[in-house]
Amino acid sequence: MTGRGARRLHRCDNHCDRTSTAAGTGAGAARLPADTVSAPRRPLPWSPAAVENALHEVLHAYQERARQWREDFEDLDEDLLAEAAGEARIFGADPVAAVDKLVRALLSGLGLWQEAIGTLRWDLAAAAQERPLPSGRPTPAVPRTSTGARPAPHSSTRSPATITACCPTPTGKTDRGDRPVTRLKLV
């Protein structure tokens, strides 16, 4: 069939098959200039092997930074604390203060190690995507109403709200003995 309403196979730039009419999409569709057709998408410029190498580099750099922390906490036990107290006694210092100083330094190291783990997470994600991530943690999108306004903050009460009214119910249930109860839900 070759008339105006004939169907033909159409291949778009995304290489999907669909049928269209010979008449086109509307009046003047046949007269559209050729430059309005967009070029097909090209593959991303990076290969999986390049991304894997970038991920290994980030992980190796983290392991180098974490080596000292691992060594500090690997031998941590009561003997190390007793040794710190013994050395403090030998030099005439307060052994409790020496142990406290050692523990505070180790806790500080734990905090730095935790920060390094958080940084590693962002660095791995950035290396995998080959683009920098936004600073800070992402914030969830706030839903909007149909008018574009943000909804009012939710209260800690039950949702949907329930109002108890003292009026007769078809079931005859009562709340406090002889008074029937109706529960209304606000939407």
170 falls within a domain: yes
pLDDT (0 to 100) of residue 31: 55
* Residues 106 and 52 both lie in one domain: yes
179 falls within a domain: yes
- Domain coverage including residue 183: 160-187
* Residues 59 and 119 both lie in one domain: yes
Structural domain tally of the chain? 2
* Residues 80 and 124 both lie in one domain: yes
Mean of the per-residue pLDDT values of the chain: 69
184 falls within a domain: yes
* Residues 122 and 67 both lie in one domain: yes
Which region, left, alpha or beta, applies to residue 105 given φ > 0 means left and ψ of -120 to 50 means alpha?
Answer: alpha
116 falls within a domain: yes
pLDDT (0 to 100) of residue 129: 78
pLDDT (0 to 100) of residue 92: 92
SS3 content of the chain, % helix, strand, coil (to 5): 45, 10, 45
* Residues 121 and 78 both lie in one domain: yes
16 falls within a domain: no
How far apart are alpha carbons 160 and 149 in whole angstroms? 21
In order along the chain (187 residues), what is the average pLDDT of each group of 10 residues? 51 49 52 56 60 87 92 87 93 93 92 93 83 52 58 51 47 55 53
pLDDT (0 to 100) of residue 114: 94
pLDDT (0 to 100) of residue 65: 92
**Rounded to two decimals, what is the model's pTM?**
0.42
pLDDT (0 to 100) of residue 165: 46
* Residues 168 and 117 both lie in one domain: no
* Residues 120 and 59 both lie in one domain: yes
Question: Which CA distances in Å does 70 have to 62, 74, 123, 155?
Answer: 12, 6, 21, 46
Which of 107, 129, 151 terminates a domain? The answer is 129
Q: What is the total residue count of the chain? A: 187
